[in-house]
Amino acid sequence: MPLAPEHLACSRCHTPIPPADWNREHAFCASCRAPLQAFVFPAFFAKPAAASTGTPVLEAGESSCFYHPLKRAVVPCDRCGRFLCALCQVEFLGQNWCPRCIQASSEKGQLAQLDPSRKLYDNLALILATFPALLIWPTIITAPVTWYVVIRYWRAPSSILLRTKIRFYIAAFLATIEIGAWIWLVLFLIYRQR
């Protein structure tokens, strides 16, 4: 949406909403006359706080930041215990974290709060097990692939919303039936030829 963050505009025609219409139950866009509601909160009026650059070390023997040896440490990281200056201190989940711990935890998928996206491997397995079965022949490839996906990604982090492993179970069950059917067909053809 092409909006400057400090403006409020009609969602339909992008015309700015005058302050007189803010926090009113019933208002209309000045341009398209669409009924609208614009709710403004105190954060709208807050001025951004100046970022701290950290305090330099004043005296010899004072604790310094692990990442910036010339800056005075103000707090230890609650994860790794390293001393952090005001610049490196990140308040996250009610604790003090260092940027490296956040990065490492995020890369390992341990921080659901920071994940921008998740792959739904259980859905992939279920789709592989069901849709190709409509055409029958593709299952000779997709059934083993389904099993591979189920085994490979069984422990992979799934959706951060509530989700069970039922799709994995169903996909594995269907893939087993498909593989069993193919084995039975091959054995049947072999014995029939003999």
Partner 1 sequence: MRHSLWMGADHLLSVRRNPFSESYRRFYFADIQAIVVTELPDLLAFSGYTAAVLVMVTAVALLYTGHPAWGIFCALLSLLSFFLGWRSANCACYLQTSISSETLPSLRRQADAAEAVTQLKTEIERTQGSVSAEVLEASPTDTRAGRPSTPKPALRHCTGQVHWIAFSLMLVRGALSAISLKSVASIPLGIVAAVVGTTILLLLILAAIQQRNSDLALGVRRLVYVTLAFYIASGLTSFAVSIYIAAHLGPRATSQAMIMEDPALKAYGLVDLIGFLLLGCTGLILMWRHQRTVRTPPPIELGNGE
Cβ-based neighbour number of residue 65 at 10 Å: 24
Nearer to partner 1, 103 or 159 (CB): 159
Q: For residue 152, which amino acid is it? A: R
Cβ–Cβ under 8 Å, residues 68 and 86: no
Residue whose CB is less far from partner 1, 36 or 129:
36
Integer Cα distance of 148 and 24 in angstroms? 56
Measured from the CB atom, is 9 or 65 closer to partner 1?
9
Minimum CB distance to partner 1, residue 103 (Å): 18
Task: Name which of 73, 75, 71, 67 is nearest 57 in CA terms.
Answer: 71
In the chain the first and final C-alpha atoms are separated, in Å, by 70
Q: Is 49 in the site for partner 1 (CB under 8 A)?
A: no
Among 104, 120, 145, 177, binds partner 1 (CB under 8 A): 120
Site track for partner 1 across 57-96, x = CB under 8 A: ----------------------------------------
Note whether 12 binds partner 1 by CB under 8 A: yes
What is the spatial distance between Cα 150 and Cα 50, in angstroms, rounded to a whole number?
49
Residue whose CB is less far from partner 1, 17 or 85: 17
